Structure 1
Amino acid sequence: MNDTTTVRILDHRTPEEREREFLPGMGKPWLLPLYDVFSRFSRVRPLHERTVALADIAPGQSVLDVGCGTANLSLAVLRAQPAARVTGLDPDAAALRLAARKASRLREPLTLVQGFAERLPADDGSLDHIVSSLALHHVPDEARVRFGSEALRVLRPGGKVTIVDFGRADGAHGRSGRGHSAVAANPHTARNLEGGLLRLLADAGFTDAREVAHVEHRFGPITFVQATRD
């Protein structure tokens, strides 16, 4: 999907999807220029680095970053494993243009695809890894269900999906605080509490969906969820 010298943006949308609305990474399109600054302030990079470590990507393996935004997780994959073949998927054209400029400046090979999580740009059984960071809570309910089925479709046997997002695997809400209350009160993130992401993957057909780590972040509980295709 990538070569060793170029960064490219492809359009995977159908004509109907070109008119479709989506929730931007910062909630409002005009806040996009602040996204990377906010991510640094919020200490999101350690979450990306832990996701990559948990995914354990080998040289030459193919990786799809779902909801890549400005490609911070994609670039973390390439820092850890420069020989990986990485593609980022996001519906936000402006975020993808920022991602392309960052990857070009760093001379990192990266393919970026404009599209949606419920229709992944990959053939059946063609991917080694799917990763996603703080993105699936933006995806509407029906599209989340289709994402689960799509993840199972595109992963090869033994391929892994590794997700980090707001939420917990059990009913515990961790320490009290504004961040935890905000996660529970927000309908987008509340779906991930009490094992929401585990149910999503299990309902799609993954037999070993599990929480592999969790942290208490300043903005709320963060869960790391992983599953392997049989």
Structure 2
Amino acid sequence: MSTTVQILDHRTLEEREREFLPGMGKPWLLPFYDLFSRRVGARALHERAAALADIAPGQSVLDVGCGTANLALTVLRAQPAARVTGLDPDAGALRVAARKATRRRVPITLVQGFADRLPNGDGSLDHIVSALALHHVPEEGRVLFAREALRVLRPGGKVTIVDFGGADSASGSDDSDHSGHGHGGHDRRGHGRRGEHGRPRGHGPADLVRLLADAGFAGAREVERMEHRFGPITFVQASRP
């Protein structure tokens, strides 16, 4: 098996000027990202997401908002014969991801780009996965992401999203303060969506289910829920008809 690791740039000239908020909030905090991820127990979420995705040998996978590729590398541990691509606007995070993949001698393609314009052809993917990224993306960006996900998945292809499962919008969540960050990949207009004590506030499982259903996905549903130190975590899945 080839262990090629490459970083590609999918950004348009206009997107090269597009700002984003890095995963740790400040670029200089990037070296601490993986340490923080381990301390808050994110690995268990990545492992569960990979198990729920149930990826088969040879299938193609896109990790949207991959950051330093923790979920993407977990997918490859679970299924070494998968063809995995990670997408993120943060060049620094992608360089860290490339070094990690090279040390592990696993093949991966890393793409610098944004969640609302995916770097894949129509019907070319078997799976899309995303972990703890979409809660930072504004409503308009999430809608575009869902449409793009439907476009690039083949019929029967599946999307698996892991995110903070806060109160649904019908129960009082507020979508007015959304902003981008390094993993979701949207414009920077603040410091991300935060709840009490500065913890990330999810958009709620029903919001994600509606997002995917409105884009045209079939069987959109919350498949699992998990308690986390930052609050409830939701696992949502859907498939392209």
1:203 is matched with 214
Letter in 1 for 2:102: S
| Identity rate, percent | 74
Structure 1 residue 62 displacement after superposition: 0.1
Residue deviations 1:36-94 (CA, integer Å, cap 9, x gap): 00011011001000000000000000000000000000000000000000000000000
- Which structure 2 residue ranges, 5 or more long, are not aligned? 173-192
Residue deviations 1:112-160 (CA, integer Å, cap 9, x gap): 0000000001100010000000011122221111000000000001000
Letter in 2 for 1:117: A
CA distance in structure 2 between the aligned counterparts of 1:47 and 1:218, rounded to whole angstroms: 12
Native 8 Å contact 2:88 2:94 kept in 1: yes
Name the CA shift for 1:201/1:150 in 2 (closer, same or farther; >3 Å).
Answer: same
Q: In the comparison of the two structures, how many residue pairs are matched? A: 220
Structure 1 residue 194 displacement after superposition: 5.6
Name the CA shift for 1:15/1:38 in 2 (closer, same or farther; >3 Å).
Answer: same
User: Which structure 1 residue ranges, 4+ long, deviate > 6 Å from structure 2?
Assistant: none
Pairing 1:120–2:131 present: no
Residue deviations 1:163-191 (CA, integer Å, cap 9, x gap): 00001586789xxxxxxxx9645999546
Pairing 1:9–2:20 present: no
CA distance in structure 2 between the aligned counterparts of 1:42 and 1:214, rounded to whole angstroms: 17
Letter in 1 for 2:68: T
- Which structure 1 residue ranges, 5 or more long, are not aligned? 174-181
2:161 is matched with 163
Q: 1:85 aligns with which of 64, 83, 86?
A: 83
1:104 is matched with 102
1:135 is matched with 133
1:218 is matched with 229
CA distance in structure 2 between the aligned counterparts of 1:71 and 1:26, rounded to whole angstroms: 14
1:72 is matched with 70
1:21 aligns to what SS in structure 2? coil
CA distance in structure 2 between the aligned counterparts of 1:123 and 1:166, rounded to whole angstroms: 29
CA distance in structure 1 between the aligned counterparts of 2:212 and 2:161, rounded to whole angstroms: 10
Q: 1:193 aligns with which of 204, 209, 216?
A: 204
1:52 aligns to what SS in structure 2? helix
CA distance in structure 2 between the aligned counterparts of 1:172 and 1:73, rounded to whole angstroms: 30
Native 8 Å contact 1:65 1:89 kept in 2: yes
1:176 is matched with none
Name the CA shift for 1:183/1:224 in 2 (closer, same or farther; >3 Å).
Answer: farther
Letter in 1 for 2:158: K
2:31 is matched with 33
Native 8 Å contact 1:64 1:88 kept in 2: yes
Letter in 1 for 2:112: Q
What CA RMSD, in Å, does the superposition of the two structures yield over aligned residues? Answer: 2.2
Native 8 Å contact 1:60 1:85 kept in 2: yes
TM-score w.r.t. the length of structure 2 is 0.86
Question: Could you tell which deviates more after superposition, 27-36 or 185-194?
Answer: 185-194
Native 8 Å contact 2:163 2:202 kept in 1: no
Q: 1:151 aligns with which of 149, 152, 157?
A: 149
CA distance in structure 1 between the aligned counterparts of 2:42 and 2:171, rounded to whole angstroms: 23
